[in-house]
């Protein structure tokens, strides 16, 4: 085992975290933290909330040199303040602990959602484009706030090297989330007049790129997306499903009705389908040096094939 790097992963029982931990544990000391346990791990897991001030003691006890911060709220709950506390204050606790324990390197998964869902988004978003995560989307807003926190720490604590990834929609054989729920529905919803393009990244590309970055002590901010994008109409064709294209006013009215019924939605969330950020992967390939294994279309087709094999489609 290589003892030069001693790695702690937050959210290590999660979908990406357990895969990354098992790969890194082949050559390095790895320990994970999570609020849940998981079978099949090849590294020890400590049950610890990412907001717990005891995290610094864990970092010091195991002489951690590298932290991978994956813990976050992927699907918004009705309690927005709780989600904010986990995402933003949890990240602040991780950064404070890293500085106090003299950790050398941190890798953080942000999201393409940090750029926001806006009508004036560039056709292809570069890492230098502004982060304008929408306040009406908890996930998007919190990722923007996390990135602002990271930027401040880069200025105030340059001794803690940072590697930031901003993935598009992650898909793999076992992916289950709010977006895949849209694809598994009997018909797809679109906003009339909007192409609603998606960029996809294969989960194994995510894990491999993160592993490469940690092993090589890479720094910087990088979008994560396969080559190309698929419009909502192309996605419906690949799924062989009908596409229901509704006027924006009708969708807004439906969201308002759902809000009155107590659902955690708002009419402004129409922009989630209307103005999706389309991520350029040029820097990931040319500057970071990662060779993507699947394009956006190949990633989506792989997800569809696996879902059909399971009987989900």
pLDDT tens digits, 90-134: 999 999 999 999 999 999 999 999 999 999 999 999 999 999 999
Residue with tokens 């989630």: 272
Averaged confidence pLDDT in the chain:
94
Q: Is 167 within a domain? A: yes
Which pLDDT score is estimated for 50? Answer: 97
pLDDT score, position 230: 97
168: domain CATH number?
Answer: 3.40.50.720
Whether the CB-CB separation of 122 and 282 falls below 8 Å is answered with no
Residue 308: pLDDT band (50, 70, 90) is very high
The 10s digit of each residue's pLDDT in 255-286 is: 888 778 877 677 777 888 899 999 999 999 99
- Residues 48-62 have a mean pLDDT of 97
Q: Is the dihedral of CA 170, 275, 272, 308 positive or negative?
A: negative
Indicate whether 269 belongs to any domain: no
Whether residue 285 is contained in a domain is answered as yes
Indicate the range of 41-45, 122-126, 245-249, 251-255 predicted with least confidence. Answer: 251-255
At what angle are helices 232-239 and 296-310 packed, to 10 degrees?
A: 40
Domain limits for position 157 = 6-175+199-227+278-299
pLDDT at 240 over 90: yes
Write down the H helix ranges in the chain. 15-24, 55-61, 80-84, 90-100, 138-156, 178-184, 203-215, 232-239, 248-260, 271-274, 282-283, 296-310
Whether 20 is covered by a domain: the verdict is yes
Q: What is the pLDDT of residue 52?
A: 97
Please give the pLDDT value at position 313.
Answer: 87
Residue 229's Cβ-side half-sphere holds a number of Cα atoms within 13 Å equal to 19
Is 247 inside any structural domain? Answer: no
In a domain, 12, yes or no: yes
Among the residue ranges 77-81, 88-92, 245-249, the one predicted with the least confidence is 77-81
- Please tell me the distance from the alpha carbon of residue 82 to that of residue 118, in angstroms, as a whole number: 26
Question: Minimal CA–CA distance to 38: which of 18, 59, 60, 16?
Answer: 18
Question: Tens digits of per-residue pLDDT, 140-191?
Answer: 999 999 999 999 999 999 999 999 999 999 999 988 888 898 899 999 988 9
Q: Specify if 240 maps to a domain.
A: no
The total number of structural domains that make up the chain: 1
**Rounded Cα distance, 129 and 170, in Å:** 21
Q: For residue 2, is pLDDT > 60?
A: no
- The angle formed by the CA atoms of residues 71, 77 and 83, to the nearest 5 degrees, is 45
What are residue 30's DSSP bridge partners? 7
% of the chain residues with pLDDT over 90? 81
Q: Does residue 181 form part of some domain?
A: no
């Amino acid at each position: 085992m290589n003892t030069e790097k001693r790695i702690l992963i937050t959210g290590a029982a999660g979908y990406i975290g357990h895969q990354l931990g098992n790969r890194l544990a082949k050559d390095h000391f790895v320990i994970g933290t999570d609020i849940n346990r998981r079978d099949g791990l090849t590294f020890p897991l400590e049950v610890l909330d990412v907001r717990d001030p005891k995290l610094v003691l864990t970092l010091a006890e195991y002489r951690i040199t590298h932290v991978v911060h994956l813990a976050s709220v992927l699907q918004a709950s009705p309690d927005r303040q709780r989600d904010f506390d986990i995402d933003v204050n949890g990240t602040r606790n991780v950064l404070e602990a890293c500085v106090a324990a003299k950790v050398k390197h941190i890798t953080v998964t942000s999201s393409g959602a940090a750029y926001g869902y806006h009508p004036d988004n560039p056709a292809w978003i570069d890492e230098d484009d502004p982060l304008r995560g929408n306040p009406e989307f908890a996930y998007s807003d919190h990722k923007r706030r996390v990135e602002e926190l990271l930027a401040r720490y880069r200025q105030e604590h340059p001794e803690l090297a940072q590697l930031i990834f901003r993935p598009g929609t992650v898909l793999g054989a076992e992916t289950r989330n709010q977006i895949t729920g849209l694809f598994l529905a009997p018909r797809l919803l679109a906003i009339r007049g909007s192409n609603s393009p998606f960029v996809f990244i294969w989960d194994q590309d995510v894990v491999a790129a993160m592993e490469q970055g940690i092993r090589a002590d890479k720094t910087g901010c990088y979008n994560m997306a396969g080559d190309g994008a698929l419009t909502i109409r192309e996605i419906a064709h690949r799924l062989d499903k009908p596409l229901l294209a509704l006027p924006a006013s009708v969708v807004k009215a439906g969201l308002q009705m759902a809000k009155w019924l107590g659902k955690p939605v708002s009419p402004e969330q129409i922009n989630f389908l209307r103005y999706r950020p389309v991520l350029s992967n040029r820097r990931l390939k040319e500057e970071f040096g990662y060779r993507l294994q699947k394009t956006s279309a190949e990633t989506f087709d792989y997800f569809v094939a696996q879902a059909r094999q399971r009987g989900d489609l």
